[in-house]
């Protein structure tokens, strides 16, 4: 029998979840009669409080770590929320660890595993090209989430969940071309990047080539790996540089929604209208992009499904149900208001 | 002697930090000559790699936990970044733990402390009205960061870092009134909230009263604590409701930047212009608000300084240098493009 949840208790009592929580936790700010009613319902329905505090008690050695490369990407936030819920459902503890851009996440993982006796690890973002040696040292199951691996040699050795970055980037570039844009600038990661940034740049080039449009190097704007991330600020800066150098383009494709927002704002500050004067497209499908003015045309990655599948894959590995598995999800082109068809 | 950092090594070698990192971590994708040069510089300058992986090794039992109420507030992100840096400087490990809106963070803290043998705790956000009993049980130093305490009885017992929420909200409301707005709607937290939301609402009322403007209940829009947070979605929803009910107002004051952005978007979707038809103000001073179109007029909380002082206060307590201390910082009204003066 599935036990009832705090939400069920709240519904039965006709009160809010927070009120039930106050009753359970003996808070002073609750009407004594309401409290009595709630405790009665809890008793009758055999409700077992199931919050992380109580989970922690019995899950000392059952922790899953999420290693996040770069905190500023709002795309990750929607995934983390799902990770927390799914891991809690399994009665495991979640350890969140941020990893700096220049740090080696495999090394951080190895140390963390020793200290916290982890049962599994999720690598979120990052993860360029780690040596096989380094990856093989990790003694617990792990899944690479929203990480694309470049080398074919990795393909069958590790579990990962991602979109096809080349294809999705191709999809957006192809869309822009079909909207009449040929001079498309791209705001991408650093020149040495070998991870998702490189794959998305490859998709951009592939789309141009498929339409026989020459690739113009001045339209490819790389971030500085020392100071830039996939952030609003980087998008602003790279677009400012495009404008200052007078690079000829009718559309800008930014490899994250945050960068797209920075690009739009830089254009507005330069007295240009989006999309009337210049079109802007993003990548990720964040809430922020949908609520921006203009709403950003973007590639939506199915963040929640990807997060759920990441945890499923990880627990399948922990329970030895499966060995490694690779899940590639389709992105979706979400038209906003930031791209205009050219006649 | 202060030891040199990875950035210094990079500068001396004329390469990027990531290249130095690759050299240290024996990555395959680095030119062997570059690597040799870097290792030589490291040796000559007695550089000791100092990343979290290595820190973890020697800091088994030296962890600080940050308990975050609500992940969706981008205001916290800028603070977390600073927490990570400052805690790393002290060679402690950081444990990040998110707490659901309805959960009791003191209870989560107590369990976490037992499990991880924490040396200190930062409560970020949340923290309405916890009983003294509950707070007194926490056996390690803690600081309440960006948390306002309502009860006078708490004032001298706990360390906290915040702005004066009543005053800052007064500042913004007073500003709107001086811009010619009398009919100001406010998008705030739930009716039962006794934390920062309640304080900011009090500041709004105080400003209206100081200008002898009657407080109109229909202009006070409360979020539903079961589903809403200080998010873009909540701002959108509450503004939609204002419009649907035909509430008469010339300005909307949202108690977070995220809500302000949701409000602007709802107005745009209803065919209204911001600020020409209606003005919108926010609270927090996030990057997102500065880059929005129109840029949001807001109250900037000095996030980085507050984060630094939080850690300083915590370590002063850990080292028994000070007992409790309360630090109240001034916010700053940052005019954007979203508020128009009425004639």
| DSSP string covering B5-66 | PHHHHHHHHTS-HHHHHHHHTT-SSS-HHHHHHHHHHHHHTT-----HHHHHHH-TT-EEEE
Instruction: Kindly report, residue by residue over A94-120, the tens digit of the pLDDT.
Output: 777 777 766 778 888 888 787 667 899
Mean pLDDT to the nearest integer, A313-324: 87
Interface list for B 274-313 with A (CB within 8 A): 287-288, 291-294
Q: Which residues of B touch A128 (CB under 8 A)?
A: 29
Q: Which residues of A touch B266 (CB under 8 A)?
A: none
Give percent of chain A with pLDDT exceeding 90: 47
Q: Which two tokens stand for residue B47?
A: 């550089």
Q: How confident is the model at residue B228 (pLDDT cuts 50, 70, 90)?
A: confident
Q: Which two tokens stand for residue A200?
A: 């998305």
Q: Which of A2, A8, A90, A80 is nearest to A52 (CA)?
A: A90
What Å distances lie between residue B8 and A3, A105, A197, A320, B288, CA to CA? 57, 22, 27, 46, 32
Q: Which two tokens stand for residue A159?
A: 């579990």
Q: How confident is the model at residue A153 (pLDDT cuts 50, 70, 90)?
A: low
Instruction: Kindly report, residue by residue over B142-194, the tens digit of the pLDDT.
Output: 998 887 665 555 666 788 899 999 999 999 999 999 999 999 999 998 888 77
Catalogue all structural domains in chain A, each as residue range(s) with its CATH number: 6-50 (1.10.260.40), 56-163+303-329 (3.40.50.2300), 166-301 (3.40.50.2300)
| Least confident among A295-309, B53-67, B112-126 | B53-67
Q: Is residue B53's pLDDT more than 80? A: no
B293/A265 Cβ within 8 A: yes
What's residue A216's pLDDT? 97
Q: How confident is the model at residue B75 (pLDDT cuts 50, 70, 90)?
A: confident
Nearest-CA distance from B1 to chain A in Å?
A: 25
Mean pLDDT of chain A: 85
Mean pLDDT to the nearest integer, B200-215: 97
Distance CA B166, CA B200 (A): 5
The packing angle between helices A6-13 and A32-44, to 10°, is 120
Q: Which is more confidently placed, B71 or B226?
A: B226
User: HEC string of B277-325?
Assistant: CCEEECCECCHHHHHCCCCCEEEECCHHHHHHHHHHHHHHHHCCCCCCC
Distance CA B47, CA B1 (A): 12
Instruction: Kindly report, residue by residue over A281-305, the tens digit of the pLDDT.
Output: 999 999 999 999 999 999 999 999 9
Distance CA B247, CA B224 (A): 19
Q: Which of A274, A310, A276, A313 is nearest to A292 (CA)?
A: A274
Distance CA A14, CA B326 (A): 39
Q: Which residues of B touch A264 (CB under 8 A)?
A: 293
With CA atoms as reference, the chain A residue closest to B7 would be: A226
């Amino acid at each position: 029998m599935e036990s009832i949840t705090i939400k069920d208790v709240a519904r039965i009592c006709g009160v809010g979840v927070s009120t039930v929580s106050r009753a359970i936790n003996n808070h002073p700010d609750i009407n004594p009669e309401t409290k009595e009613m709630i405790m009665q319902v809890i008793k009758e329905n055999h409700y077992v409080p199931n919050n992380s505090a109580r989970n922690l008690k019995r899950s000392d050695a059952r922790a899953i770590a999420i290693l996040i490369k770069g905190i500023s990407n709002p795309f990750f936030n929607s995934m983390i929320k799902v990770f927390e819920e799914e891991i809690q459902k399994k009665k495991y503890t979640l350890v969140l660890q941020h990893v700096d851009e220049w740090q080696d996440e495999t090394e951080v993982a190895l140390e963390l595993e020793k200290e916290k006796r982890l049962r599994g690890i999720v690598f979120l973002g990052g993860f360029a090209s780690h040596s096989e040696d380094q990856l093989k040292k990790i003694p617990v199951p792990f899944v690479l989430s929203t990480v694309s691996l470049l080398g074919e040699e990795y393909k069958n050795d590790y579990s990962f969940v991602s979109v096809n970055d080349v294809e999705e980037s191709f999809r957006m570039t192809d869309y822009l071309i079909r909207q009449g844009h040929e001079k498309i600038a791209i705001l991408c990661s650093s020149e040495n990047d070998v991870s998702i940034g490189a794959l998305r740049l490859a998709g951009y080039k592939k789309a141009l080539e498929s339409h026989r449009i020459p690739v113009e190097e001045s339209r490819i704007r790389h971030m500085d790996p020392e100071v830039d991330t996939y952030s609003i600020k980087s998008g602003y800066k790279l677009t400012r540089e495009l404008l200052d150098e007078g690079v000829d383009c009718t559309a800008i494709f930014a490899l994250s929604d945050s960068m797209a927002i920075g690009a739009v704002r830089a254009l507005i500050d330069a007295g240009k209208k989006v999309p009337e004067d210049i079109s802007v497209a993003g990548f990720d499908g964040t809430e922020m992009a949908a609520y921006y003015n203009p709403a950003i045309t973007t590639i939506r990655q199915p963040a929640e499904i990807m997060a759920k599948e990441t945890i499923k894959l990880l627990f399948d590995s922990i329970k030895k149900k499966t060995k490694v598995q690779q899940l590639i999800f389709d992105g979706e082109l979400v038209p906003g208001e930031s791209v205009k068809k050219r006649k």
